[in-house]
Amino acid sequence: MGLAQTFLTIASIALLGIISLTLNTSYLNSNQTMVESEYTIEAVSLAESYLERAIGESFDQQTIYAAVSSTSSLSTTLGPEAGETNINLFNDFDDYNGYTTTATTQRATYNVSISVVYVADTNPSVTSGSKTWHKKMTVTVSNSYMTVPVTMNYIYSYF
């Protein structure tokens, strides 16, 4: 075997090694992305379940049994009222403010946190310093397998 053939053989083996390494890296990256996507989909489902549960409640403690015509009539409390010690006792949208829990599924354990704020009438991205006819709920779901937590918002308006 000549020198040229030896170099050609070494170059072929090196090229085969590079291709093999590239394929393995690609496979591992796509597998990691697929696994994280599965956790993210489950986190979205959890966030949606908390949003849907809250949306089924009254807008405010004061609107459960009667209509109100002024924002000054709305409850001053954003969060559970006295006696509402767990999520099964929540009866209005803002009772979920400050709620945190750990949700365990067959796949993983997720950390869930919820906040509720009044938002400006003209821009729901801006938190209002006073009571308005609009409340924004933010549900954040995370776990150790996800690089970015899932955050979902919902604006609940009272008219």
Coil, strand or helix at 13: helix
Bigger pLDDT: 154 vs 3: 154
Task: Name which of 24-28, 36-40, 48-52, 136-140 the model is least confident about.
Answer: 24-28
DSSP 14-28: HHHHHHHHHHHHHHH
Averaged pLDDT, 67-75 = 92
Count of structural domains within the chain: 1
Range of the structural domain that residue 97 is part of:
3-157
pLDDT attached to residue 72: 92
Contact 59, 154 (CB under 8 A): no
Q: pLDDT tier at 77 (50, 70, 90 boundaries)? A: confident
Contact 93, 115 (CB under 8 A): no
pLDDT attached to residue 1: 63
- Nearest CA to 155 out of 110, 118, 107, 105 is that of 118
Enter the pTM of the model. Answer: 0.81
Averaged pLDDT, 94-121 = 95
